[in-house]
């Protein structure tokens, strides 16, 4: 579509593009040069500050344990939130109002609250009402916050997955005499699980990103929280530490995002399935309170 917005370029347009490109590069280069100047002046570019990341120590002491904690929290949150989300999502599709309404209220409530608020609540909850040790509390709190929030988002993903299937599937199943619960278990859910895989992987990216909140506010020792001890130990290499941590996050999340879009393409082209899919982009809409997914006509 984008190429439709402008004509094929003649010699004049090509010349103009070159001029714009040169100006653009000049502006970007000027900003980079200014940054380089400041960093150089503050000594942030000294090799000694960057060198630790080429040795095992920085990785084995700071980065690797941090990354492990990030992955642990994300994996725990996903594993606990998935069944909860599935239950809530199916509950919202129930024919009985006494199941549907409470499930909807829970989902709408937790979708409209920031995950940080839920984490802070979790931390206080564990310190007041349980005897979880102070060292473990941040992990528990982060996972609790993530589970409460993501179960409601996953509930919407499950619901969208079931609604994305062609109506004929449920109709055919009830025509051969299956009950509602059999239709859900044998016909709809198995297909919906495949359809919503891209969205689930995409939500995993959100979870990984949100674990960093625990590091910043709840003293959870995840990847990003390793920045301050690291820069203190290696002589105030704040910029270098941030760069390395950001690069790890980008690498991790970018591979997850690419995996999600690969899954999406595969499902779309699949000949064995109905081609129903909950896209990775849909996640944004599904995590918004008040948004509703429409079923297929």
Partner 1 sequence: MFDFLEGYNLWEAFWTTVQLTVLSAIGSLIWGTVLAAMRVGPVPLMRGFGTAYVNIVRNIPLTVIILFTSLGLNQTFGATLGSDQIDTTNFRLAVLGLIAYTSAFVCEALRSGINTVPVGQAEAARALGLNFTQVLTLVVLPQAFRSVVGPLANVLIALTKNTTVAAAIGVAEAALLMKEMIENEAQLVLISAVFAFGFVCLTLPTGLILGWVSKKVAVKR
Which residues contribute to the site for partner 1 (CB under 8 A)? 1-2, 4-7, 9, 13, 17, 20-21, 24-25, 28, 35, 38-39, 42, 44, 108-109, 112-117, 120-121, 124-125, 128, 205, 208-213, 215-217, 224, 227, 238-239, 242, 245-246, 249-250, 252-254, 257, 281, 284-285, 287-291
The tokens of 180 are what? 């509602």
- Least Å distance, CB 13 to partner 1, is 7
Closer to partner 1 at the Cβ: 124 or 172?
124
Give the nearer residue to partner 1 in terms of CB position, either 113 or 132.
Answer: 113
Crossing angle of helices 97-111 and 64-92, in 10° steps, is 150
The whole-angstrom separation of Cα 73 and Cα 146 is: 9
Closer residue to partner 1, CB minimum distance, 196 or 252: 252
Complete DSSP assignment for 43-94: TTT-HHHHGGGGSHHHIIIIIHHHHHHHHHHHHHHHHHHHHHHHHHHHHHT-
Helix (H) or strand (E) holding 220: none
Q: How far is the CB of 49 from partner 1 (least distance, A)?
A: 11
Q: How far is the CB of 179 from partner 1 (least distance, A)?
A: 35
Separation CA 234–CA 92 (nearest Å): 53
Cβ proximity to partner 1: between 191 and 220 the closer is 220
Binning the chain into helix, strand and coil, the percentages to the nearest 5 are 75, 0, 25
Nearer CB in complex with partner 1: 187/208: 208
Smallest gap from residue 274 Cβ to partner 1 (A): 24
Report, in Å, the least distance between residue 130 CB and partner 1.
Answer: 12
Contacts of 168 (CB under 8 A, 6+ apart): none
């Amino acid at each position: 579509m984008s190429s439709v917005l402008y004509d094929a370029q003649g010699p004049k347009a090509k010349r103009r593009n070159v001029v714009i490109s040169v100006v653009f590069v000049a502006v970007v280069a000027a900003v980079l040069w200014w940054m380089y100047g400041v960093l150089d002046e503050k000594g942030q570019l000294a090799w000694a500050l960057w060198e630790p990341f080429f040795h095992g120590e920085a990785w084995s002491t700071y980065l690797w344990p941090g990354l492990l904690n990030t992955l642990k929290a994300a994996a725990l949150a996903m594993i606990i939130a998935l069944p909860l989300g599935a239950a809530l999502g199916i509950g919202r599709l129930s024919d009985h109002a006494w199941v549907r309404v409470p499930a909807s209220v829970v989902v709408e409530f937790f979708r409209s609250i920031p995950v940080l608020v839920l984490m802070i609540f979790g931390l206080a909850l564990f310190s007041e009402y349980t005897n979880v040790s102070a060292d473990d509390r941040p992990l528990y709190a982060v996972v609790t916050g993530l589970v409460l929030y993501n179960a409601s988002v996953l509930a919407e993903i499950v619901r969208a997955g079931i609604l994305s299937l062609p109506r004929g599937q449920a109709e055919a199943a009830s025509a051969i005499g299956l009950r509602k619960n059999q239709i859900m278990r044998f016909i709809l859910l198995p297909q919906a699980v495949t359809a919503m895989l891209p969205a689930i992987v995409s939500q995993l990216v959100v979870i990984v990103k949100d674990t960093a909140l625990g590091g910043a506010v709840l003293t959870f020792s995840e990847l990003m929280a390793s920045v301050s001890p690291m820069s203190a130990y290696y002589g105030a290499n704040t910029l270098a530490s941030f760069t390395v941590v950001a690069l790890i996050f980008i690498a991790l999340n970018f591979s997850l995002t690419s995996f999600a879009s690969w899954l999406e393409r595969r499902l779309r082209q699949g000949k064995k399935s109905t081609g129903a899919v909950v896209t990775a982009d849909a996640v944004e809409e599904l995590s918004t309170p008040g948004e509703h997914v429409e079923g297929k006509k």
